[in-house]
Structure 1
Amino acid sequence: MKAPLRDRLVGRSLLIALLLVTVAPFISLFVTALHPPGTYPSGLSWPETPHWENFALAFQSADMLRLLWSSVLIELGVVPVAVLIATLAGFALGHLRPPGGGFIFVAFILGLTLPFEGIIVPLYYQMRDLGLLNTRWALILPLIALYLPFAVMWMRAHFVNMPHDLSEAARVDGATTWQLFWRVHVPLSVPALSSLAILLFLWTWNQFLLAVVLVDDPAKRTMAGALGAFQGQWGTDVPLLCAGSLLILTPTLIVFLIFQRHFVQALLQGSLKG
């Protein structure tokens, strides 16, 4: 067997194995969710009579519509603002390169080393002093700040590799800095912007720790954060809990499947430039 063919077979076998490992937990959740409510399924066994109504019951019991609306409001408060600020900062640091930009860049790198768990206590007291506890602003404002180090570095890496000939040609035509940014660089940054927005959307949707600590009302949390209250109410009903978990995961899966082409395009674009 030739070496290239053997390498392809080994690579595909590893990808298939990783795919099975990734998909297996979701299959287990789905099969468990179809068992009769109140039972304790053992192993990965298909029920004799699938109870599809578990999904409708979980949707009604958790008041998913209200949780969905709360998550949408939080997403609208976090993702557009974080992407806008990161794009402006990334353009300045990566393309304009102002004096002192290196120190600012190092500060953002240090921001990447801050785990959510390490700042949750001072963040709680800060939100309390601002009177924002148990409000959606207690999630929106910290998430914007915590996402900015990564988001700025993501956009900076994109703008660093943008050819300066485009900017010089636009300057010759009389373009201002804002016109250069908005009319030249932003249209060329759609893959990077869309992939960053997808990542921030997924992270915000799945945010659990801050939602549980900073917001007491489950109706004002993200859907992942509200899962804690749902688990406390239906923790003994394993099939119903699995059905609720799958309902919470479904929107993120749909968003990723719709925009996966933009995400992969941005990654490939960065690898080719790097």
Structure 2
Amino acid sequence: MVTSKSEVLVGRIILIVVLVLTLLPLLGMLSAALQSPDRLPTGLAWPTNPHWENFVTAFTVGHVWVLLGSSLLIVVVVVPVSLLFATLAGYALGNLRVRGGRVVLVAMVLGLTIPFEAIIIPLYYQITSYGLLNTQWAIILPLIGLYMPFGVFWMRAHFIGVPRELSEAARVDGAGVLQEFRRIQIPLARPALSALGILLFLWTWNQFLLPLVLVDDPDKRTMAGALGAFQGQYIDALPLLFAAALIVMLPTIIIYVIFQRQFIGALLQGAVKG
């Protein structure tokens, strides 16, 4: 397929427009974060005397080091466990075609339609009955369950696209289900696993509602969840609030920049299969 110069030019213009629209909010937040703490930021204007110390203040007052440890603990548990369960279930539904798999798949699709906000009240009482309120487990366990519908659906979409001839050839060579899964299916699923892992990391790191409702101690929340307490304490100091928001966003931006090739590769792989 030959692409004309006009199509290339239009594509580049669209990319530039999207890039500008993406960077403008970040630049606006940065300019607001560098204003004087006692000043109300207005518009996109670079301050004549940037207050870089706002980031130090937000870092110190917001207990960022403590929140980093709490967020990392939650991410380190939620992401691997969710990947494990989603991969096993996706393999069973997409490759093994287990009995009753359609019913499970329909349940997973229905689970995709349930927003977090709809179950937050019953979830609060359930976590309270387990004695896990105000602990990191009050965030970890619900997130693993809430991520399952999407994770299983994502991995099933990958495994269902793997040629069945590979499984049949492995069985002929004497490989069992676990051997085939470990030696053949998992290496082929690395792009899908990488993309899913990135999504789960971003969603967990930026999780705001569950930590805010289920954990009273801000130091036990995720960084995004603790931003609510910071906002309530420094509602009049908007530059500090913008600085804290940028600190929270920084790790997600770094992770996406580092692993963007794997993420885009998995999306393109899915598009080709589709």
Task: Give me the TM-score of the superposition, normalised by structure 1.
Answer: 0.96
SS of the counterpart of 2:105? helix
Residue number in structure 2 paired with 1:20:
20
Residue number in structure 1 paired with 2:67:
67
The answer on 1:271 being equivalent to 2:271 is: yes
Rounded to whole Å, the distance in 2 between the matches of 1:42 and 1:223 is 26
Rounded to whole Å, the distance in 2 between the matches of 1:116 and 1:31 is 33
Name the amino acid aligned to 1:102: R
SS of the counterpart of 1:245? helix
Rounded to whole Å, the distance in 2 between the matches of 1:122 and 1:24 is 39
Gaps in structure 1 of 5+ consecutive residues: none
List aligned pairs for 1:1-274, cutoff 5 A.
4-274=4-274
Please report how far the alpha carbon of residue 173 of structure 1 lies from its aligned counterpart in structure 2 after TM superposition: 1.4
Name the amino acid aligned to 1:67: L
> Across the two proteins, how many residue pairs are aligned to each other?
272
Name the amino acid aligned to 1:137: W
Name the amino acid aligned to 1:68: L
Rounded to whole Å, the distance in 2 between the matches of 1:157 and 1:264 is 16
Please report how far the alpha carbon of residue 40 of structure 1 lies from its aligned counterpart in structure 2 after TM superposition: 1.2
Residue by residue, what CA displacement relative to the aligned partner does 1:4-25 show, whole Å, maximum 9, x if unpaired?
4333333332332222222211
Rounded to whole Å, the distance in 2 between the matches of 1:141 and 1:157 is 25
Residue by residue, what CA displacement relative to the aligned partner does 1:188-239 show, whole Å, maximum 9, x if unpaired?
1111001100000000011001111111110111100000011111111111
Q: 35-44 vs 86-95, which deviates more?
A: 35-44
Q: 6-15 vs 208-217, which deviates more?
A: 6-15
SS of the counterpart of 1:50? coil
Rounded to whole Å, the distance in 1 between the matches of 2:68 and 2:102 is 41
Rounded to whole Å, the distance in 2 between the matches of 1:226 and 1:74 is 14
Gaps in structure 2 of 5+ consecutive residues: none
Please report how far the alpha carbon of residue 64 of structure 1 lies from its aligned counterpart in structure 2 after TM superposition: 0.2
Name the amino acid aligned to 1:119: I
Task: Give me the TM-score of the superposition, normalised by structure 2.
Answer: 0.96
SS of the counterpart of 1:235? coil
Rounded to whole Å, the distance in 2 between the matches of 1:29 and 1:236 is 16
Rounded to whole Å, the distance in 2 between the matches of 1:219 and 1:263 is 31
Rounded to whole Å, the distance in 2 between the matches of 1:257 and 1:93 is 32
Please report how far the alpha carbon of residue 44 of structure 1 lies from its aligned counterpart in structure 2 after TM superposition: 1.3
Rounded to whole Å, the distance in 2 between the matches of 1:38 and 1:68 is 28
Name the amino acid aligned to 1:78: V
- The sequence identity of aligned pairs, in percent, is 59
Rounded to whole Å, the distance in 1 between the matches of 2:42 and 2:94 is 54
Rounded to whole Å, the distance in 1 between the matches of 2:154 and 2:118 is 23
Please report how far the alpha carbon of residue 96 of structure 1 lies from its aligned counterpart in structure 2 after TM superposition: 0.5
